[in-house]
Amino acid sequence: MNELFASLCVRKLDVPVLNPPQQLPLFLSSSFSFDRIEEGVDIFTGKQEGYVYSRYGNPTIEAVTRRLEAMEGFGLDMDIQGYLTSSGMSAIHLILVSLLGQGDKVLTQANLYGGTTELLTRVMSGLGVETVFSNLNDLEQIESQLKSDPAIRVIYLETPTNPTLSCLDLKAITDLAHQYQIKTVVDNTFCTPYLQRPFAYGADFVIHSTTKYLNGHGTGIAGLVLGKDKSFMKDRFWTVLKLTGATCNPFDAWLVANGIRTLPLRMDRHSANASLLASSLADHSGVDLVNYPGLASHPSHSLASRQMSGFGGMLSFSVSGGQATAFRVMNQLKLASLAPTLGDVDTLVLHPATSSHLRIPKAIREEQGITDGLIRVSVGLEDATDLITDFHAALDCALVEK
């Protein structure tokens, strides 16, 4: 009797799904069973669709991926293939490793997110891939480099950039890249597909840290790679993804699913709040510079107005007095959290020079506008008047202490 009872407890449960659940089910299973071994063979060999192991595919992950493909390709006549990964950094690494090999070069900008710069210079370099930094706002310079260096195989770009919010002309760069058979990879994390869809401007691949706005609540870490060359994505990219094991887990995918259901509402509020805060900071005597593409004074304002449907929730501003003043301002804030991330519903502030860009040489940082007095702000969903009052009070206090 005891043996039969133990067997009953251990046996797989049958799931009585009589009609579809309203919410996405969470499939927390590492593997999937077969009715017959022949069925397993057919699924493994591709003769039949099905799931075998969650590193290869999982119903929750697949459902979220299909929705993200539709979002990034919305309104475009193209068939996009995507894969969720374990983080935004793994997404960047996987697409670069899939596209590049020893002796190849990647052309990019100097004002990237610090982690991306480190990945290129400290990890990809060890694989024999060289990084060429350029001013990607200078099309003549780009073309000159592509003409003179056939080893360049990829242009990697981030727009708007982290943390100075400068924008790049996606259409002009991708058109130029395609003339020389160069692939383009665009980090669209700051905008999300709601505000900008790089595939519409000719991008070959788009990546996201879904940890940020797509999740939106700071509850999980994941990344996303999408490509319009489905054969490449299904063959080359998926092979690299599954064999490196950098796949997303079902729970983090499920959290992204929850986030994207409110994405338009959140992004509208993030953008509106950021615009009001940026304008108010620009009027404060203690602020030397505000980086926000929604401001008419921002160098990328005209381009952002054409390329984006909204200006987003990210901004940065520089205070006189360098790091000491920046720290005083940040420590005086009451509504904003000091946290090394972005895209959450609450306002977050970060000091790039001592965190995200800590290991970027100071001379390079400052040349790109990432000074010791720069503060990055991920503007949240709080009341805009409350945020403005809080930031102005913090600035006033910091200037008095100075």
Is 113 noted as a catalytic residue in this protein?
Answer: yes
Residue type at 206?
V
Looking at the DSSP bridge assignments, the partners of residue 184 are: 155
Is 53 noted as a catalytic residue in this protein?
Answer: no
Residue among 212, 228, 266, 376 flagged as catalytic:
212
Q: Would the CA dihedral through 215, 216, 222, 228 be positive or negative?
A: positive
Is 288 noted as a catalytic residue in this protein?
Answer: no
Whether residue 149 contacts residue 126, with contact meaning beta carbons closer than 8 Å, is answered with: no
Write the CA distances from 130 to 85, 127, 133, 167, integer angstroms.
24, 9, 10, 24
Where does 216-300 have alpha helices with state H? 230-232, 238-244, 250-260, 263-282
Whether residue 227 contacts residue 80, with contact meaning beta carbons closer than 8 Å, is answered with: yes
Residue among 51, 83, 105, 113 flagged as catalytic:
113
314-319 and 287-291 as β-strands: parallel, antiparallel, unpaired? antiparallel
Q: Which of 357-372 are b and which e, b meaning 16 or more Cβ less than 10 Å from the residue's Cβ?
A: beebeeeebeebbbbb
The alpha-carbon radius of gyration of the chain (Å, integer) is 23
Whether residue 156 contacts residue 126, with contact meaning beta carbons closer than 8 Å, is answered with: no
Residue among 51, 105, 183, 187 flagged as catalytic:
187
Is 187 noted as a catalytic residue in this protein?
Answer: yes
Tokens of 196: 């900008």
Whether residue 287 contacts residue 317, with contact meaning beta carbons closer than 8 Å, is answered with: yes
What is the C-alpha separation between 273 and 284, in angstroms, rounded? 17
Whether residue 155 contacts residue 185, with contact meaning beta carbons closer than 8 Å, is answered with: yes
Whether residue 142 contacts residue 180, with contact meaning beta carbons closer than 8 Å, is answered with: no
Looking at the DSSP bridge assignments, the partners of residue 187 are: 158, 207
The residue to which tokens 């107005």 are assigned: 305
Q: What are phi and psi of 350, to 5 degrees?
A: -145, 150
Tokens of 331: 């420590």
Active-site positions? 55, 113, 187, 212
